[in-house]
Amino acid sequence: MASNDRKPLISGNWKMNHNHFEAIQTIQKLAYALDKDDYQAVDVSVHPPFTDLRSVQTVIQADDIPVALGAQNVHQAANGAFTGEISPTMLQKLDVTYVIVGHSERRELFGETDEIVNAKAKAVLAAGMTPIVCCGETLAERNAGHAESKVAGQISGSLAGLDAVTIGDLVIAYEPIWAIGTGETATPDDAQQMCAHIRSLVMSEWGSTTAASVRIQYGGSVKPGNASELMGQPDIDGALVGGASLDAGDFARIVKFPLYQA
Ligand code: PGA
């Protein structure tokens, strides 16, 4: 882990995978594969589809599993005529701790703008949960040399209006879009460079205390074989894992990355 006080957060984003029976099996297998040393070194969250949340919550509570429950999305309004949507308090009532907002799939496939992501982040915070705010550039943007400015715009737009203390406690996930689900991972150096850039943006807008405490995850084809090197970078404080989180054994090996660090 990096030489700082930030405890890494490894989050499994199951996306639209696992029905509630499969979800129960997965959380049970994960609990079996992890032990107290793992939880001491790393915070762990799983983000099942909405229809699985109640089932996974029940297993976590019945078996006293120190894995935080997370959601993949939320609507920004408290309630009302929004067919098909889920409110922050509905998630909070299920003991959800972390809510992913502005995942690139939400931005690219469902038209979520920085303004919407910002409203969602605020709604999550108002309900007492922690947003994992995602950002990241496309391959075309990277090749055109616009990766840093794209991410800078997403950070200031998505976090607008939040105070320094609040930002210090939330999570930012840097996920280059070209690395998501493609098997193509950013090199540890590239990932580190962008996470350091994000931290410096936070520093210039919200100050050094906030920059030192905000956790920045890397996401994009994180696997058991590359996790420890990525997590060894000084500005990378965890991972948002998609595909490899669906298998409890693979995900547990990623959570155990400190065992593989020199
Ligand atoms: P991946 O997804 O690990 O399958 O690349 C990461 C994510 O989208 O959160």
pLDDT digits (tens, 9 = 90+) for 183-216: 888 899 999 999 999 999 999 999 999 999 999 9
pLDDT range class, residue 1, cuts 50, 70, 90: very low
Question: Does residue 221 have its Cβ closer than 6 Å to ligand 1?
Answer: yes
Non-local CB neighbours of 258 within 8 Å, separated by 6+ positions: 1, 41, 42, 228, 231
Beta bridge partners of 238: 9
pLDDT of residue 185: 85
Question: Is the pLDDT score of 2 beyond 80?
Answer: no
Name the average pLDDT for the chain. 96
Helices (H), 127-173: 139-143, 147-158, 164-169
Higher pLDDT, residue 262 or 116: 116
Q: Which atom of ligand 1 is nearest to the CA of 243?
A: 4
**Burial per residue of 62-101, b for 16 or more beta-carbon CB atoms within 10 angstroms, e otherwise:** eeebebbbbbbbbbbeeeeeeeeebbbbbbbebebbbbbb
Quote the CA–CA distance of 188 and 235 in Å, as a whole number.
11
- For range 228-250, the mean pLDDT: 97
Question: Does residue 242 have its Cβ closer than 6 Å to ligand 1?
Answer: yes
User: Which of 18, 175, 217 should be mutated for ligand 1, with most atoms under 8 A from CB?
Assistant: 175
Quote the CA–CA distance of 240 and 64 in Å, as a whole number.
23
From the options 3.20.20.70, 3.40.50.800, 3.90.1150.10, 2.40.110.20, give the CATH code of 9-260. 3.20.20.70
pLDDT range class, residue 262, cuts 50, 70, 90: low
pTM of this structure: 0.97
Q: Which atom of ligand 1 is nearest to the CA of 182?
A: 5
- For range 49-65, the mean pLDDT: 98
Q: Are 240 and 217 in contact (CB under 8 A)?
A: yes
